[in-house]
Amino acid sequence: FNFDSAPELTTGCTDSSRCNVWTPYGLSGSDVLYARVINNGGATADSVVTSSADTGVSTVSLVRIVYGVWTVSSVPEPTTTFLLLAGATVWLAGRRTSIAR
């Protein structure tokens, strides 16, 4: 897994030997669940792991951690498309039946 050989190029990371990018994804009791990408200098031991941290622990002093923020673009839901097609099919079937009479 070759994430990057220069951790300091990761936005927000100030350490040139190692950087952790944490992406929180859930809660379990008083723990925050997160996926962590570990970016080591030289890229020989980069990895991705899942872990948890107590919500009461401060991470302000941890200089090797950056929180990942991800966005997802809007994609139309398949159910909306399906309902429109189903409605059009029913309308056409009803129209065809009324024309045949």
Bridge partner list, 19 = 39
Residues with Cβ within 8 Å of 40's Cβ and at least 6 positions away in sequence, in order, are 7, 17, 18, 46
Of 30, 33, 35, the C-alpha closest to 54 is: 30
Which pairs count as long-range contacts for 39-45, CB under 8 Å and 24+ apart, including other chains?
A: 39/3, 39/4, 39/7, 39/10, 39/13, 40/7, 41/5, 41/6, 41/7, 41/16, 41/17, 42/5, 43/2, 43/3, 43/4, 43/5
Helix and strand element counts for the chain (H, E): 1, 4
pLDDT in tens, the chain (101 residues): 445 666 666 777 777 777 888 888 888 888 888 888 877 776 567 778 888 888 777 767 666 677 776 666 676 677 777 888 888 888 888 876 666 55
Note the pTM of the prediction, 2 decimals: 0.48
What residue type is 65 in one-letter code? I
Predicted pLDDT of residue 81: 77
